Structures are given as structure tokens and as C-alpha cells.
Amino acid sequence: MDVNYTLILEIIVIVNSALAFVTVFREKRDIAATWAWMLVLVLVPVVGFIAYAFIGRKLPKGRMFRLQHQVAVQLDERLQQQRDQIGNQIMPADQISHSVINMVNMFMETDQAFLARKNRVRVITDGHKLFHLMMEDIEGAHSSVHIEFYTFYNDKIGNDILDLLVKKARSGVEVRVIYDPWGSLGTWKSFFKPLIDVGGHVEPFLGTQSAVIDFRLNFRDHRKIVTIDGEIGYVGGFNIGDQYLGRKEKFGYWRDTHLRIVGSGVFALQARFMLDWNATDRDNPFRDDRIETKYFPLTKVKGETSLQIVSSGPDSDLQQIKMGYMRLIQTAEKRLWIQTPYLIPDDSVLDSLRIAAMAGIDVRIMIPDKPDHAFVYRATQYYARQLAADGVKIYYYHHGFIHAKTMVVDGRIASVGSANMDYRSFKLNFEINAFIYDAAVATQLEEIYEADMRQSELITPEKFDQQSVYLKFKQTASRLLSPIL
């Protein structure tokens, strides 16, 4: 019997296309991601569906966050107090502007992000200094140490921090750790057994033991949070691993930006950790009794920095950090300086950057000169080339790998945190950023940016034009997949 291979192939194509259509359109998502997945499923049969099973499906409603009652009540009370005061100039007069007040109100409305005043903030750009300070603070803890990281590697610095946490837990300090199993590949829960054995608590984010068998690789806990006694907090771009200390030849020197916060801003970091913990460990949650006195102690700090801690993730459709980035872009009058390892903006952010540049704003974006993810890097190059043509100054950082996620506007306001300038951080990852209303900190970030420029190269439109046809093809092809990278 003759086999009609052409007919069989046609049937496979038709069935595959039909399944692709049903698979993609049965879940609500933006049009760019919809067509990107259609492209993958139709052009790469079978393999495309395997990829979709791991990274294409949306987070189920049953695993969305449930706000812990007492924490939510405290946030609501603090928020209402500030809503009552917002019209009475609760910030110093030199920080008051309609744009700042509007941004504060926006975060209050969309993320319950109260305005934390009078903080002491230290900007840290070197991993050795960061981990020295952090471990020194943990060493001095007397009540609690809460740690949440995308990456907690089983390497030298990871073991050094683990040993310190074991020591503190053995002395009676409450130690809780949340790690992301995908970001911490190679680190099994058995790594934390010495800490668990002495009374510490460790959980993979949302209780997922394995990033592989979870079948939902997209929704990662990309946050980086440390709180110590509810009085000292850390947030920014560094993770826990030797590569963040420049010990990996592939990356060389690791250039990142992190904040050490002392003051009421730690209240928000603590609350975020507690909400994440209660969503992750249903058997050992934070409870109502003693929450206020133990985890939110009264602190009298003589600082100068006002800030808001803002979270976003797939548990909300508001994309709060992206909204903050767009508001910062729209607020710029003279300068808008950005550092990001991944530059894959959606159309709304892309248009905002273009408008700012065409309006005469000094828009600068600094990205790495080397990849850590091939497709993501080529897509980053594509958007860098497009923005350079519109008047944005693109800098390639040459002194190692730049992983900082910062934005500073006119030496007045700034953002530092975990969120990149890409689709993944906007829509898929759980992220956290500090939005800072302090000219002194913003000016310091500008000075750091200028120092980084001396280690960077300005890539003009002419230099982009000189790139090979093959490189431009790879950039364009990667761009087609950018909504799902």
C-alpha cells in the first residue's frame, strides 16, 4: 500500500495549527505575546508545545497571593494616614512638585505603597562591599533575619552566608529564607538542611520544589529582599552567588546597584517579605499576634530620604513598576539616564523613550557589551539600535557585566531595584523596586553613572549601521520572540 506522505504532512500541519490556535487564544494575554507564541507553535511543531508547557501557561488563580490580614490592616492604616496628609506637603518643600505628588498617589492607589520618610539610604555598587555590610548586619541581628532572593547559589559566598544564618538561628534569632528554584539551579533544599536543623525556615518560592517539574518556568521570584530586625533592609539587583563577586571568568567584574535602607522604608520591605512567605508556606505563616511589635519596631532615624517600595508581578494586571518607569520617563525635563542588562521594552515604554528623546531630553541607556542569554542579548541589541536612530544615547559597558537596574531623572528622583527594562520584568516576574524622592541620592546615582560612562563606549547610529547583515538578522529574529523571552 502506497503511503501518501504529502497528505500525512498536510494533516499534521493542519492539526498542529488548530491546536496552536486553541492553546494560545484560550488564555487572555496581550496581542504581541499571542502572536509570538503562535509563531513558535506553528513553526516548531512538538518542540513548541513542550516549550509552551513550561513557559507559556499563565499563573493559575488558585496560586495568587492571599494578603495576610494583620499586615494588610497595617498597610491600610498607614496608607490612609498619608492620603489625609498628601495635600499638606508631607515631603520637604524642595521635593514637592506635581509630578512627584502624582507619582506618590499613583503607587498608593495601585500598590498600597505608602511614602516612607526620613530614611538613611546607602548606595552600593560593588559585591564585596555589599556582602561585607550585609553579613555584618546579620551578625548583629537580635530578633529576625528575613531573606528572599532569586538566586542563592551553593558556592563560596552562598555557604558563607548559610553558615552565618545557621549561627544566628542557633542563637535564637528567627531566620526565614525564600529562594527561587529556577534562579538557584543547582541549589537543592538539602543545601539548607543545616539551617533547618537548628530551627531556621527555608522554602522555595510558592512551595515549588523543582523548577523543572513545576511546568511553569515563567513566573519567577526575581525579588531581592533582606530585612534585619525590621530595622535594616536591602533591595536592589545583586543576588547571592560568586559571580556577583566577579569570580566567574565569563562575566568578569560584576557591576550592580543595591540599596541599604535604615528607617521606615524597611516597614514596606518587611511587609512584602511576609506576604510572599505566607503565600509560600501555608503551614508556618506569620500570624497576627506580636506582628507589630516584633516585625515593625518603632525606629527614630534622622535620615533625609523619602521613598516608596513598589512591588509588581503576575498576581496583578497593573504592572506597577512599569507604570513607575513610564511616569519617570514622562516626568523628565532635562536628563533621563537608565542602566539595564536587558532592553526589551513593550510598545508603550518604547514610545515614551522615543518621545522623550525627540523632545530634546538627554536620554541615555547603558547596557552590557556581552550576553548572559543569547536571544535576550540580541533582542536588546535590536532595540538599542532602534532607539539610537531616534536620538537615544546607547552605551556599551566594557568593564565586566553591568546588571544594575536604575533610572535617574534630572538629579531629583530615581529608581533602584530588581526590575529590568523588559517584558519579563513588566509582566511575568515578581519584582520589587525603591522609587526615591531625594536629590542627594539621585545626584549620587548620576555621579556613579558618569563614572560608568568612562568604562563604556557610545554606540552611535553609524556604528550600528556597520554591524554585519548576519548580526542584524539575529537581532531581528530575536526581536520577534521578545514578548516571550
> Annotated catalytic, 222?
yes
- pLDDT of 359 > 50? The answer is yes
pLDDT in the model for residue 420: 97
pLDDT in the model for residue 371: 82
Banded model confidence at residue 15, pLDDT cuts 50, 70, 90: low
Q: What are the tens digits of pLDDT across the range 130-163?
A: 999 999 999 999 999 999 999 999 999 999 999 9
What is the Cα–Cα distance from 281 to 64, expressed in whole angstroms?
13
pLDDT in the model for residue 215: 46
pLDDT in the model for residue 3: 55
For the ranges 16-20, 145-149, 340-344, 411-415, the lowest mean pLDDT is seen at 16-20
Fold of 320-484: Endonuclease; Chain A (3.30.870)
What is the Cα–Cα distance from 239 to 468, expressed in whole angstroms?
35
CB of 427 within 8 A of CB of 281? no
Backbone angles phi, psi at 124, to 5 degrees: -125, 130
CB of 371 within 8 A of CB of 377? yes
DSSP-H helix ranges across 86-141 = 98-111, 127-139
Q: Which of 222, 322, 427, 474 is catalytic?
A: 222
pLDDT in the model for residue 87: 46
- pLDDT of 42 > 50? The answer is yes
Q: What are the tens digits of pLDDT across the range 461-477?
A: 999 999 999 999 999 88
For the ranges 88-97, 119-128, 177-186, 260-269, the lowest mean pLDDT is seen at 88-97
Task: Name the DSSP letter for residue 221.
Answer: B
What is the Cα–Cα distance from 345 to 353, expressed in whole angstroms?
10
CA distances for 18 relative to 21, 22, 23, 41, 52, angstroms: 5, 6, 9, 10, 15
DSSP 332-345: -SSEEEEE-S-EE-
Helices (H) and strands (E) in the chain, counts: 17, 19
CB of 147 within 8 A of CB of 174? no
Backbone angles phi, psi at 111, to 5 degrees: -135, 10
What is the Cα–Cα distance from 263 to 438, expressed in whole angstroms?
15
Q: Which of 137, 410, 422, 438 is catalytic?
A: 410
pLDDT in the model for residue 467: 93
CB of 20 within 8 A of CB of 42? yes
361 CB-near residues (< 8 Å, 6+ apart): 332, 333, 334, 335, 336
Q: Output the average pLDDT for the chain.
A: 85
User: H or E stretch including 82?
Assistant: helix 69-85
Q: Which of 403, 422, 427, 474 is catalytic?
A: 403
Q: What are the tens digits of pLDDT across the range 272-297?
A: 999 999 888 878 888 765 666 788 88
What is the Cα–Cα distance from 18 to 344, expressed in whole angstroms?
30
Do the strands 393-397 and 362-368 form a parallel or antiparallel pair, or are they unpaired? parallel
Domain residues of the chain, as ranges?
5-57, 63-99+115-306, 320-484
Ramachandran sector of residue 403 (left: φ over 0; alpha: ψ -120 to 50; beta: rest): alpha
pLDDT in the model for residue 95: 55
- Residue 220's nearest CA partner among 309, 153, 314, 152 is 314
187 CB-near residues (< 8 Å, 6+ apart): 152, 153, 154, 158, 179, 181
Backbone angles phi, psi at 77, to 5 degrees: -65, -45
pLDDT in the model for residue 33: 61
> Annotated catalytic, 224?
yes
> Annotated catalytic, 193?
no
Classify domain 63-99+115-306 by CATH number: 3.30.870.10
The mean pLDDT of 256-266, rounded to a whole number, is 96
The mean pLDDT of 174-200, rounded to a whole number, is 96
Q: Which of 111, 126, 137, 224 is catalytic?
A: 224
pLDDT in the model for residue 470: 93
CB atoms within 10 A of CB 116: 23
Q: Which of 146, 168, 258, 405 is catalytic?
A: 405
CB of 438 within 8 A of CB of 121? yes
> Annotated catalytic, 288?
no
- Residue 75's nearest CA partner among 271, 240, 357 is 271
- pLDDT of 76 > 90? The answer is no
Paired residues of 27 in beta bridges: none
Residue with cell 538578522: 473
Q: pLDDT > 70: what percent of the chain?
A: 76
> Annotated catalytic, 403?
yes
Same fold, 63-99+115-306 and 320-484: yes
- pLDDT of 4 > 70? The answer is no
SS3 category, 15: helix
CB of 483 within 8 A of CB of 33? yes
